[in-house]
Structure 1
């Protein structure tokens, strides 16, 4: 294990032992879980990261899984190399196909090759998800801010940034310009495919960027996924920064900045609804024709994660109202049971709560008592394993989905470390 990671684990465990000693072992096994079980440095120097129990590299999960370690990268050359390797592999993938969400380690043709879309041997799955274009850029920003290392900004990363912006511009005009379609024949759920010959439901032009699928890999009900557009607005600012400071690329700078303005205008004009109990809040999805989907999903980007994404601060009034909606029975995917209460997802059984949803609630809370309660809920819902899972029955936590879900484990480690630091 990396020197910086080992030191951090030992220091945090020591602090934790004075407050919640029963959580020490869970922290020690969860925080490094991604590094211990999912990361592979390849011969070309790039880093391949699986999600856990699926042998493919998701652009979203691979970024989110290692993000909790990025602040330690400046202290450890091996860790820094791992980050650079992950970023460069993501850049390679996105230059191959910006519409794919998950890729193979080699051009071996594994994955969902029977889907009716433009598949290829590198592609595991080609569900176009706007957040898949955002996460690699955020990872670049996190790494650069933590280390100041400009060596990560290679020619391939430059090409990736252009590909991301150009794809977003096309999907800003999905109805008239997009070449993308997706249909899956062998579906378990309707959310595994897109209606209308794979083009999805109709959308009006709003300035926002269309997405086919959510970060849960479920099809969007309406094509403008508000949290994903918030994430896009944030990362477009990062792209503009890289274009100006690193690449001296005026064209990319101007395109990214204008698109950021368009997206923000679309969110604030078309993405807000008047709720009868919560007032003006952000919707989860809209089509630009006046139809809205009022819900939230535990997968990030989510409405609950708005400050985590960097779109609005914790004390923003619109966010606080939206958060109140998300953490209430008005959100159809908020569930309560004997052992936990929190946000779930239509991706998993009805009534289940997600560990990632609880952790994100903790990371975005300003209330010490709420954070303490979340730590308690996390501690008592591991089904005796000490690990986080995807989702669980809040009345019977021993019933859960995904034994091995590295993203939830490393994010739990980050939250627990931050919580301990506040307590100390």
Structure 2
């Protein structure tokens, strides 16, 4: 770790203010120092920070900046592989759950089901939760050559992922999944006795109950998450062909990839007066759309970051739309401008979205400007937060949020020229 940090410090000299570098060090070391526990079965459990459970999504995103160091660090490489192995253990337990316990303790966010599996912290079905572990497994192999993550649970988990995705393309007719939570927050449960908002089956899109924010979808076809499916199915195609010599898996992944891609381009776009043709955030297959973007990833802002092969004109229009006040969750104030979320109070910008904006912009100077803005909005805590008030950064949510710290670290490394091979 020290060698890598010293290397980064040397590379940063003369390119940015020293305080940006020291903030990077603080954020970069946060996940390894505070959130990861090595387990006796050669896996690793990763908490989000101030919540003691492991989210499939967050644990992947938290470790992504370490892939650069893992190229030269065998111990770190194996630690990340251990996280992937644990993720697929969890998927084999319950492919509909989004967050899990370190042990079968029965701990949970809320007792949503009297017979809930004791490993499961929360059972909100989110399409992206099944994409992230595939992404981390692929990026670890592609960027470091590591293959120890591809054990029996990986292959069993991939089969379960296909089963769920195919079933949820016909959610209305084929899915048994239901989620009901007794909560005063309407976004914390699903309508229609837990079945969720009505969608038209057979479009090729995959239904998701919840967004990456863990908020319920307004319309069941979450377009950024379906974009993520297209990307990771491409990863599975390549791994099936190159690593596993599995023609059936290669074909199955390729078929689903193309089916979902075509559905996004047909069902996930709509015309707006403000920006022309754009990608919607959500759709229902009947012609209704949610036009917005959310700070959590996958998002529309993160299309390039994830590697989705978007239509260039539509993608450009979409970026302009969501980085404007046409997006109801784009905020601008005395402290900063950026995208927030209905998950946090109005006027609260997310550091994650700021980092994604930097990682997907074309000008290197803009990345530096965003790093400076992120550093100036920590509320004096010298770490990133979930959301902060665009008028007063001393008002923020979550003191300890490892994903946001990882995103600052990744943007800082990107500014210095570090880039992952993502396809």
TM-score range, shorter-chain basis?
Answer: over 0.9
Corresponding residue to 2:111 among 101, 110, 114: 114
- Residue 280 of structure 2 is matched in structure 1 by 283
More deviation in 413-422 or 169-178? 413-422
1:202 matches 2:174: no
- Residue 134 of structure 1 is matched in structure 2 by 131
Deviations 1:61-94 (A, max 9, x none): 0000001111321211110110110010001000
1:401 matches 2:397: yes
- Residue 4 of structure 2 is matched in structure 1 by 8
More deviation in 410-419 or 95-104? 410-419
For structure 2, which runs of at least 5 residues remain unmatched after alignment?
Answer: 419-423
- Residue 379 of structure 1 is matched in structure 2 by 375
**8 Å CA contact 1:113, 1:119 repeated in 2:** no
**8 Å CA contact 1:117, 1:126 repeated in 2:** no
1:391 matches 2:387: yes
TM-score by length of 2: 0.95
Supply the RMSD in Å over aligned alpha carbons. 1.5
- Residue 163 of structure 1 is matched in structure 2 by 160
Structure 1 residues 87, 382: CA separation in 2 closer, same or farther (over 3 Å shift)?
Answer: same
Q: CA deviation at 1:237?
A: 1.3
Deviations 1:332-376 (A, max 9, x none): 000001010000000000110000010000000002343232122
**8 Å CA contact 1:68, 1:410 repeated in 2:** yes
For structure 1, which runs of at least 5 residues remain unmatched after alignment?
Answer: none
More deviation in 123-132 or 6-15? 6-15
- Residue 421 of structure 2 is matched in structure 1 by none
Determine helix, strand or coil for the equivalent of 1:388.
coil
Structure-1 separation of matches of 2:230 and 2:139? 16
Structure-2 separation of matches of 1:146 and 1:216? 28
Q: How do residues 292-303 of structure 1 correspond to structure 2 at under 5 angstroms?
A: 292-303=289-300
Q: CA deviation at 1:34?
A: 0.7
Corresponding residue to 2:350 among 350, 354, 357: 354
Structure-2 separation of matches of 1:149 and 1:114? 38
Determine helix, strand or coil for the equivalent of 2:244.
coil
**8 Å CA contact 2:20, 2:372 repeated in 1:** no
More deviation in 271-280 or 375-384? 375-384
Corresponding residue to 1:274 among 271, 274, 277: 271
Structure-1 separation of matches of 2:366 and 2:147? 39
Corresponding residue to 2:223 among 218, 223, 226: 226
Structure-2 separation of matches of 1:340 and 1:377? 7
Q: CA deviation at 1:202?
A: 0.6
- Residue 174 of structure 2 is matched in structure 1 by 177
Structure-1 separation of matches of 2:229 and 2:47? 24
Q: How do residues 8-87 of structure 1 correspond to structure 2 at under 5 angstroms?
A: 8-18=4-14, 19-87=16-84
The number of residue pairs the alignment matches comes to 416
